[in-house]
Amino acid sequence: MNRALWAKSIGDARLLLAALVALMFGFEWLFVWLTSLVELGAVATFLQAWPGEFQSLLGMPLAQAVTPTGRLALGYIDPVVILATVTWGLARGSDAISGEIGRGTMELLLAQPVRRITIVAVHAAVTTAGAALIGLAAWLGTCQGLWAVGWLDQVAPRHFVSAAVNVFALTFFLGAASTLVSSWESVRWRAIGVMGAFFIIELIIKIIARLAPKLDWLMYCTVLGAFQPQILAVEPARAWHLSLRYDGTLIGLGVCCYLLATIIFCRRDLPAPL
Amino acid sequence: MLVVTRALTKRYGPLTALEDCHLQIKQGEVFGLLGPNGSGKTTLLRLLMGFLRPTSGEAHIAGLDCYRQSVAVHRQVSYLPGDVRLFRMRGKDVLRFFDRVRGVRSTTGTPASFALAERLRLDLSRPVAKMSTGMRQKLALAAVMAVETPLAILDEPTSNLDPNVRDEVLALVREARAAGRTVIFSSHILDEVEQVCDRVGILRAGRLVYLQTMTELRRQHVIRGRLTAAMPPVPTDLRPTPAISTSNGHVSIETPGELRPLLGWLATLPLDEVRIEPVGLKAVYERYHGTGLS
């Protein structure tokens, strides 16, 4: 693979990646610190006051949610984490093909002796590495927080490894799915719009599945059913088994999306810049 | 032949962008491609670059299929798009990127693209985002013309450039020809095409309607004058046979080839106010596309 393409792809990604890695690390660290400020009993009383349907939104039994590990695991399904994963996945995926076409730079890029598959592969590799760094930053933030508040004797950092891997898997899937949309689009914002709408629909399906026990089968209809980092953290005994199921689903779907995106991009006409 | 297209056709649904294009361009030739917007010039160039899949027909560069072997083709071609958009980098980083992506290594210390940028009086320290359209055009030209590929495809290379730099670009095209490179030069500026091209092709509504060498075109003349008596018939043994049209007592005689064999006959004609002019590319172009072009 071409070193110039690697350098360009890393250069394009570095600012956003640095910001998101810092956000994830800082947020998880802050989350641990804030959690340590609230008494265990107070959390239990607060959560027990919630109606049963809303307790189900936690995605784990109340008894587990009020443990130190359970409370910290909620930091992996916080909207800040979701925002970071969605931002990275959509920004990078939409940029892969429709972004370059929209800016008119794909024409000059493809005029070089470079295969189209190489362009997708380099972009995908950098996006995947970025997703891994975001997941790693979340875990390191948790570790740093545990060390800072002196909870290392109560909560084992290794319990959050599988949660961080699940965050990586979701980010990987979002990057791949966005690349797929990007592969047939010529306007980046349209690709972001399609993926944004897809994510919101998936989120609504997941929330309905959680709130309505009769419709819990809907959890199998959304890819977000495979995003359960809080369960992976509180059930260390089953973590790797569940991880295989959840992460396998997300990564498997992501790989399929990348393959499809490559096929579509390699076969499509390159439109003239708008 | 370096470039060969056979029955090359591109359709977008009901719209035909290029139809049944047969073209051959030899090594070391500067080929001018003319036509108004939407005539199929850019479609032809994009088909040669393998950006578009032909609906039918085929295109080859150096014996390689332009669509199926596009990577190998791109090793033979440097391409300047009509609408230059560059990466958000500094000028020098853009040139470095293209040098690296093509694996170009300088033997003299200064990369050829940097030397060319200097010749085009371009400030490479400036970020692309802060460059004017003309500066971006110069930067792209430096990147494209510095690569010593057998074929350079230039889509409107002088648009947005000031007259001095235009002359420099035309000089670069001549140097490329002198070095044995082939250039496909697409332009709206007929004067430039006349200056640098060896052969021209005119596209109209997706069809290649005219092909001629500039040497042949330069031999053609039009003689205009006022008739002082009835126009006598053209001698049957006169070769080449001129095309004659009369209107309101004026005559226009177009020579299909050299003027010299006709001079004796012309001297016998009852003409006044005689003007002899080369036919020129503009007149040929206007035959196919009317007036209103430079």
DSSP single-letter state for residue A57: G
* 3-state DSSP assignment of residue B199: strand
Task: Spell out which residues of chain A touch residue B87, defining contact as CB-CB under 8 Å.
Answer: 8, 105
- Span B259-272, average pLDDT: 88
Q: For residue B72, list chain A residues with Cβ-Cβ distance below 8 A.
A: 113
What confidence tier does B247 reach under pLDDT thresholds 50, 70, 90?
confident
Q: Do the Cβ atoms of B36 and B48 come closer than 8 Å?
A: no
Q: Which of B46, B52, B86 sits opposite A105 (nearest CB)?
A: B86
| Token pair listed for A173 | 């899937």
The mean per-residue pLDDT over the stretch A155-184 comes to 97
ipTM surpasses cut 0.95: no
3-state secondary structure of A144: helix
Task: Tell me the β-bridge partners of B94.
Answer: none
pLDDT at residue B48, rounded to an integer = 97
The pLDDT tens digits of the residues spanning B69-80 come to: 999 999 999 999
**A48 in contact with chain B, both atoms CB, cutoff 8 A:** no
> Within an 8 Å CB–CB cutoff, is residue B15 touching chain A?
no
- pLDDT-based confidence at B294, cuts 50/70/90? very low
A112 touches chain B (CB under 8 A): yes
Where do we find the tokens 């070391």?
B28
Residue with more model confidence, B285 or B63: B63
| Tens-digit pLDDT profile for residues A91-110 | 999 999 999 999 889 998 99
Quote the pLDDT of residue B109: 66
pLDDT tens digits, one per residue of A174-217: 999 999 999 999 999 999 999 999 999 999 999 999 888 899 89
Q: How confident is the model at residue B175 (pLDDT cuts 50, 70, 90)?
A: very high
Cβ atoms of B128 and B85 within 8 Å: the answer is: no
Per-residue pLDDT tens for B34-82? 998 889 999 999 999 999 999 999 999 999 999 999 999 999 999 999 8
Q: Considering chain B, what percentage of its residues have pLDDT values greater than 70?
A: 97
Share of chain B above pLDDT 90, in %: 62
Identify the pLDDT of residue B292.
45
pLDDT surpassing 90 at residue A10: yes
A49, pLDDT greater than 90: no
Q: What is the mean pLDDT of residues B223-228?
A: 92
State residue B291's pLDDT score: 55
DSSP character for A197?
Answer: H
How many other CB atoms are found less than 10 A from the CB of residue B67? 17
Mutate which: A16, A109, A112, vs B, most B CBs within 10 A: A112
Residue A274 scores a pLDDT above 70 = no
Closest-CA distance of chain B to residue A52, Å: 53
Crossing angle of helices B91-101 and B112-119, in 10° steps, is 140
Residue A155, SS3? Answer: coil
Average pLDDT (B15-39) is 94
User: Which pLDDT does position A220 carry in this prediction?
Assistant: 92
**CB atoms B97 and A4 under 8 Å:** yes
